[in-house]
Amino acid sequence: MLGIRRKKVKPMRLKDVTIIDDARLKKAITAAALGNAMEWFDFGVYGYVAAVLGKVFFPDASPGIQIIAALGTFSVPFIIRPLGGMFFGALGDKYGRQKILAITIILMTLSTFCIGLIPSYATIGFWAPVLLLIAKMVQGFSVGGEYTGASIFVAEYSPDRKRGFLGSWLDFGSLVGFVCGAGIVVLLTAILGQENFNDWGWRIPFFMALPLGLVGLYLRHALEETPAFQKHVDSLEQGSKQGLSEGPSVPFKEIARKHWRNLISCIGIVITTNVAYYMLLTYVPSYLTHNLHYSEDRGVLIIVVIMLAMLFVQPVMGLLSDKFGRRPFIIIGSTAMVLFSIPSFMLITHHSIVALFFGLLIQAVILNCLIGVMASTLPALFPTEVRYSALASTYNISILVAGITPTFTAWLVEATGNLYMPAWYLMVVGVIGVVTGITVRETANKPLFGDTPAASSLEEAKELLQEHHDGIEQRIEDIDEEIEALKNKRRDLVAQHPDIVK
């Protein structure tokens, strides 16, 4: 009988625990969050000026079709995002996270800036919406590697006990981007007047992407590679001596075979969270203006107030997830989507500012539960060597469903005349979230998949090492109990067979 060669496993020592430098950690979070804010600044602005863009680029259509066409241009780039995810994901696992994040912010900045340069349909006709679509597709390609890369960057820099809190600042940046985008729209409309804003003022927010992007690029270019990825590089150089020259060693087909459960969990979390995200922060502004006939200023102002409240709640959700786990927040948020979507839209459509505020607040709290833990949950589902490839590909394929939310919901409302269609849509997606929350593995206060523990201090490193050893001892005891139970079962079976020697 051939013997099975076992890989020699070295005992974990204190030197194996990564101690994260606090100054480097703050720089990493700031750079990642700023780039994410840049991404969502454009999405926020685009959502709030969708009605204006419909008039500028699709003037011959009816008002309802103009909204659908403008939001459709918003949604089409999501088809490109999986390509960007696969492209940047493979490069991120080959060359590192920091280099790819510098590239994606350049592409995002330039494509957003170019939207402000595109002449109107009245000036160049058919080419106006074509150029808008090209700019959005370039943007979608770059975004394919942006959020997943940023979340991985923060996760790999974060100590195990603080990953939820620190990861929540990534989507804090998203909300800041939305708030800034919406606030600028309100401010410019108030200063310029609605007519001037519709004529040329809508271009200004897109021009502002250039200086914001340059600041983000500067911060990202100055960053060092993540400790987790650097350890991976060192192990390749010392082990196989091939370094990273051949790229990721595991093809996506193999990733799907080995990690299919986590891939499904990733899909469920991404769909649930981002449908809620795009519904509230991209579709609802145009819903308030076009379907409920609020003035653009009032509808946007209410959303801004809601998002400001979300900013304060977001880090709290991440902090609590470090204490109670990620799964409870996914389950609570998804269950609330099922139970409270109809009541919230009853308030939203009540034609009362107070009722509208509380209806939107319900949706905001639901969204906070989900985005508060997403950035810390997803990177922990995959090992370092395939983390970027697996997460970027799966995330961006999944977000295709979320990306059509504004367009599909607008079409549903137009086709049926039912103002509660957004609520029914959210309820269906909420069911997906509940199932995902129940089945996903808990990642709080644990090392990233396949990585050694990470701590914020030497004292914490000693505690984590002791917890690791205690966990091994407990697992050994559990295995010993299983072995004893199997021995007893074997003894009982042997006793029933007359020809087996006891």
Extents of the domains making up the chain: 18-224+253-456, 460-502
Neighbours of 234 (CB within 10 A): 11
**Whole-number Å distance between alpha carbons of 149 and 391:** 9
pLDDT number for residue 4: 44
**Whole-number Å distance between alpha carbons of 384 and 74:** 32
Assess whether pLDDT exceeds 50 at residue 243.
no
Assess whether pLDDT exceeds 50 at residue 244.
no
pLDDT number for residue 425: 95
Q: Which residues are CB-neighbours of 27 under 8 A, at least 6 positions away?
A: 219, 222, 223
Which residue has better confidence, 3 or 114? 114
Assess whether pLDDT exceeds 60 at residue 187.
yes
Going by pLDDT thresholds of 50, 70 and 90, the confidence category of residue 332 is very high
Q: Which residues are CB-neighbours of 29 under 8 A, at least 6 positions away?
A: 154, 157, 166, 169, 170
Q: What is the DSSP letter of 264?
A: H
The stretches of 10-49 forming alpha helices (DSSP H) are 22-48
The 10s digit of each residue's pLDDT in 390-435 is 888 888 888 888 878 888 898 899 889 899 999 999 999 999 999 9
Which range is least confidently modeled, 101-115, 250-264, 424-438, 473-487?
Answer: 250-264
Assess whether pLDDT exceeds 50 at residue 2.
no
pLDDT number for residue 84: 87
Three-state SS at 62: coil
User: 18-224+253-456: which CATH architecture?
Assistant: Up-down Bundle (1.20)
Place of tokens 């969270």: 273
pLDDT number for residue 241: 46
Residue 251 φ/ψ, nearest 5 degrees = -70, 160
Q: Which two tokens stand for residue 104?
A: 């994606």
**Whole-number Å distance between alpha carbons of 502 and 491:** 8
**Whole-number Å distance between alpha carbons of 128 and 116:** 11
- Please give the average per-residue pLDDT across 141-169, as a whole number: 88
pLDDT number for residue 139: 84
Percent of the chain with pLDDT over 90: 21
Residue 255 φ/ψ, nearest 5 degrees = -60, -45
Assess whether pLDDT exceeds 50 at residue 123.
yes
pLDDT number for residue 9: 60
Going by pLDDT thresholds of 50, 70 and 90, the confidence category of residue 501 is low
- Please give the average per-residue pLDDT across 253-272, as a whole number: 89
Measure the CA angle with vertex 61, ends 59 and 64; round to 5°. Answer: 115
Which range is least confidently modeled, 43-52, 91-100, 109-118, 211-220?
Answer: 43-52
Hey, what amino acid is at 139? Q
CA dihedral 108, 111, 114, 115 (to 10 degrees): -100
pLDDT number for residue 62: 64
Percent of the chain with pLDDT over 70: 89
Assess whether pLDDT exceeds 70 at residue 199.
yes
The 10s digit of each residue's pLDDT in 294-327 is 876 676 677 778 888 888 898 999 999 999 999 9
Which residue has better confidence, 262 or 3? 262
- Please give the average per-residue pLDDT across 345-353, as a whole number: 90
Adjacent-strand bridge partners of 455: 19
Mean pLDDT of the chain, nearest integer: 83
Q: How far is CA 262 from CA 24, 279, 387, 391, in A?
A: 30, 26, 11, 10
**Whole-number Å distance between alpha carbons of 269 and 266:** 5
